[in-house]
Structure 1
Amino acid sequence: MTPFLAKAAWLLLAGGWIVIRYPYARRARRTPVASSRRGLRERLLMAVSFTGLGLLPVVYLVTGAPRFADYPFQPVQAALGVLVVAAALVMFRLSHKALGRNWSISLDVRDRHSLVTAGIYQHLRHPMYTAFWLWAVAQALLLPNWVAGPAGLIGFGVLFFGRVGDEERMMLDTFGDQYRVYMARTRRIIPLLY
């Protein structure tokens, strides 16, 4: 493993994310939103997450900044990062596939929204968040910089902990007891743990 391959793996992760998400985003635009909890808070959470998972790593990849935060490249650490990239992309694909037309980038309930409990959702309530956590871990392993590397963990962590409770309340408001039963038999993002 080389620094170039580690950076290429991060770019593959970001590119794979776009390729996987694009068809679902197109379909989502054609399905009207029945209710939404978007607002200033949601936009700020999304901006913080984008900064950590997108903006800061791209600045680092393009410019090398901030150089003061660099640490020596560790090939084994980066190789582990490549494995986490693969896991992130698989989880991201499985979550989009299971959600289908129910997918939304934000806290939206679509017309004819159904509670998805099949596929990867039979084990986890928020596997897409699991995929984002995997992205953040992969980034920390691949980018040997104390700012750009862990920025994803911080940025996505702010979004996750600022949003997951609201999302679950929205699902409870929409699906009631059906969602309570689902919550009782699944974990949020880590099988058997959390």
Structure 2
Amino acid sequence: MAERLKEFQLSETAEQQPLSVTQIWVASVLGGGVFAGAILFFDRLEPLFLYMSFLCFFHDSEYFVTAIFNPTRLEMSSFLLNNGFQYWIAHLSGLVECYFHRTHPFFVDKTVLYAYQFVGLAAVVIGQYVRTKAMAYAASSFSHKIADKKAEDHVLVTDGVYAYVRHPSYAAFFVWAVGTQIWLGNVITPIAFCIVLQRFFTARIRHEESLLIKFFGADYTTYKSKVPSGILFLP
């Protein structure tokens, strides 16, 4: 716990990186998207608008949580808008399926559809909350990029939300992403997201943990043996 407090103090006193005009502009546009989507949703009860809010809020929060709790690593890529071509293709696929169900509904009973979408909404909210909490709690020990070398302010965080799963930010993103597709009323993309994300995070975690074992040795090995990864089918 003493190391955890020291890490948080380092994060608090770290020099804030200067913001560029582009970063301010992107943050403002995403913030506007959050409010516009929410307002349009409550006006028209169209799930797509709230889906837009989910996306904008996620990417904006990635940037602002980094700015507050991990300012020395703040950069344009902190928005995670450069998640890769596959990321945006995946969400585009979700929109295509959503529009397909407008003329070919999978759920004939609206009550069942609303219950299904509520599950998606809950997953989005829980996933967003846990990911934000995990990033904030790890502070300077969190990074969007896998580090090949151990930074001076990098400590092994094993308490808080990390006492329950080793990779809460990954697990939370998994839940959030699948939840967005369920919220849209999709039935194919949620399954596809589960398969793709499970494979992606399994490969990423195995690589990342090989480095963490080098950084922290037996401490991480012991932690790994006691706490699950948080990803399906990966101990």
TM superposition score category, shorter chain reference: 0.7 to 0.9
The Cα shift of 1:182 comes to 1.2
Distance 1:149 1:8, change over 3 A: farther
- 1:81 alignment partner in structure 2: 120
1:102, 1:175 → 2: CA distance? 13
Instruction: Judge conservation of contact 2:65–2:132 (CA < 8 Å) in 1.
Output: no
The answer to whether the aligner puts 1:71 opposite 2:106 as a matched pair is yes
| Secondary structure of 1:161's aligned partner | helix
Specify the SS of the correspondent of 2:84: helix
Aligned residue number for residue 196 of structure 2: 155
How many residues matched?
176
* Aligned residue number for residue 16 of structure 2: none
User: Which shifted more, 150-159 or 87-96?
Assistant: 150-159
Matches within 5 A, 1:24-103: 24-26=65-67, 30-31=72-73, 47=84, 50-51=87-88, 54-57=91-94, 59-60=95-96, 64=99, 71-72=106-107, 74-103=113-142
d(CA) in 2 for partners of 1:55, 1:29: 32
TM-score, normalising length: structure 2: 0.61
Please state how far the C-alpha of 1:120 moved relative to its aligned partner.
0.5
| Residue 70 to residue 49, structure 1, CA distance change in 2 (3 Å) | farther
Structure 1 residues 142-161: Cα deviation after superposition (integer angstroms, max 9, x where no partner): 12334544443233223112
Q: Distance in 2 between matches of 1:4 and 1:60?
A: 19
Measure, in 2, the Cα distance between the counterparts of 1:173 and 1:125: 16
Gaps of 5+ in 2: 1-41, 75-82
Judge conservation of contact 1:92–1:128 (CA < 8 Å) in 2. Answer: yes
CA gap 1:6/1:151 in 2 versus in 1, 3 angstroms = farther
Structure 2 Cα separation of the partners of residues 169 and 69 of structure 1: 47
Structure 2: which amino acid aligns with 1:107? I
Q: Structure 2 counterpart of 1:30, which letter?
A: T
For the structure 1 residues 69 and 125, does the alpha-carbon distance in structure 2 shift closer, same or farther, using more than 3 Å as the test? farther
Q: Any idea what the Cα deviations from partners look like across 1:15-44, whole Å, max 9, x if unmatched?
A: 332232113444757349xxxxxxxxxxxx
Distance 1:152 1:10 in 2: 16
* Structure 2 counterpart SS, 1:105: coil
Give, as a single letter, the amino acid of the residue that structure 2 aligns with 1:7.
Answer: L
Structure 1, unpaired ranges of 5+: 33-45
CA distance in 1 between counterparts of 2:169 and 2:105 reads 30
Q: CA deviation at 1:122?
A: 1.6
Percent sequence identity is 20
Instruction: Give, in whole Å, the separation in 2 of the partners of 1:145 and 1:9.
Output: 15
* C-alpha contact 1:98 1:119 (8 A) present in aligned 2: yes
Identify the residue that residue 179 of structure 1 maps to in structure 2. 220
TM-score by length of 1: 0.72
Q: Does 1:164 align with 2:199?
A: no
Q: Once structures 1 and 2 are overlaid, which stretch shifts more, 106-115 or 85-94?
A: 106-115
2:179 paired residue number: 138
Q: For residues 49 and 174 of structure 1, what CA distance do their matches in structure 2 show?
A: 31
Bigger relative contact order, structure 1 or 2 (CA pairs below 8 A, ≥6 apart)? 1
Match of 2:146 among 107, 125, 128: 107
1:85 is displaced (CA, Å) by 1.4
